[in-house]
Amino acid sequence: MKKIKLPNPLILVVGSMGAFWIADIVNPGFNPVGVMILFLIPVLVIDFLYPQPELEQILEQAQQIQDQESTIDEPIVDEPVSGDLVDEEP
């Protein structure tokens, strides 16, 4: 799983101010965009203050298990399972 680089809260504030500025010039529909950008700041601050290393460990373990299962050579069975669409033979 790739790491995501979170934006800086200062960039979010500048972006929301830009959205409010565009709302005054172009279209008032940009006001909710500015508000939504401002609502992201507490989420990013909490994520920064309280990281979840346990979640990363669980995801790494799941990836290892998935890799192990993909290396096991099992015979391919053509029997239909529940939910498969099959043609009925006359």
Tell me if 63 is assigned to some domain.
no
Q: Give every CB contact of residue 44 below 8 A, 6+ residues apart in sequence.
A: 6, 7, 9, 12
Kindly report the pTM of this predicted structure. 0.47
CA dihedral 1, 10, 12, 42 (to 10 degrees): 70
Number of domain units in the chain: 1
Tell me if 33 is assigned to some domain.
yes
* Contact between 15 and 37 (Cβ < 8 Å): yes
Range of the domain at 39: 7-51
- Looking at residue 74, what is its pLDDT? 57
* 8-state DSSP, 22: H
Q: How far apart are CA 8 and CA 33, in angstroms?
A: 17
The pLDDT tens digits of the residues spanning 18-74 come to 999 999 898 898 899 889 988 888 888 877 777 777 777 877 888 888 877 766 655
